């Protein structure tokens, strides 16, 4: 998933977060404003609700990441799953704000910080554990966003990775590119 070879856990984690952000945005771009708030049934969340939840989680987890608990006392997690922002613009502003907080917290870190202790819901985590916990959490929700967007876009869906049935063609292009770089 990382686009650049690295042996830095922090650098690699940032690259993974950026890839998940890009993937979710590619999926959301393929649905209408109405589809952003659509659910498949009463027990499911819409893309907008998932985005609202992720943004709330990012604000809580990454604000004052090293010095305060990752579950902020003013967070109302249950409210993240109701009444999403009224417009795509408001939703995307919330999304961007969450990611800005995340990257502002991670970019100053070095791999030496990975052993430091942070808390989430009163439980001690190493910085590395906290980062990995959030990578897994966001990957889960990005998968939901992609699934919903693909379902809702139907035949208009444009693959975000190698399209189905195109692996051999993709592999030939990679091999040709590698051969030309030798």
- Residue 3: per-residue pLDDT: 60
- Domain boundaries of the chain, sorted by first residue: 9-180
Query: How far apart are alpha carbons 127 and 134 in whole angstroms?
Result: 11
pLDDT tens by residue, 43-73? 999 999 999 999 999 999 999 999 999 999 9
What is the rounded radius of gyration, in angstroms, for the C-alpha atoms of the chain?
Answer: 18
Q: Which residues contact 17 (CB under 8 A, 6 or more apart)?
A: 99, 102, 103, 106, 134, 135, 138
What CATH number labels 9-180? Answer: 1.20.120.450
Tell me, yes or no, if the pTM score tops 0.85.
yes
- Cα distances (angstroms) measured from residue 18 to each of 3, 164, 170: 10, 24, 23
- Classify residue 65 as exposed, middle or buried by CB count within 10 Å of its CB (0-12, 13-18, 19+): buried
pLDDT at 76 (0 to 100):
93
């Amino acid at each position: 998933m990382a686009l650049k070879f690295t042996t830095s856990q922090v650098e690699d984690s940032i690259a993974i977060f950026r890839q998940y952000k890009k993937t979710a945005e590619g999926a959301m771009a393929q649905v209408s404003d109405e589809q952003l708030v659509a659910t498949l049934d009463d027990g499911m969340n819409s893309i907008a609700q998932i985005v609202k939840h992720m943004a709330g989680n990012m604000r809580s987890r990454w604000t004052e990441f090293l010095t305060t608990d990752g579950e902020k006392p003013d967070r109302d997690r249950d409210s993240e799953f109701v009444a999403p922002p009224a417009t795509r613009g408001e939703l995307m502003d919330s999304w961007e704000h969450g990611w800005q907080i995340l990257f502002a917290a991670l970019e100053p870190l070095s791999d030496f910080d990975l052993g430091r202790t942070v808390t989430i819901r009163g439980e001690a985590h190493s910085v590395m554990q906290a980062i990995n916990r959030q990578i897994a959490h966001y990957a889960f929700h990005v998968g939901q966003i992609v699934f919903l967007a693909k379902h809702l876009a139907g035949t208009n869906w444009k693959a975000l990775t190698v399209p189905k049935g195109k692996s051999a063609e993709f592999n030939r292009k990679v091999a040709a590119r590698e051969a030309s770089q030798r």
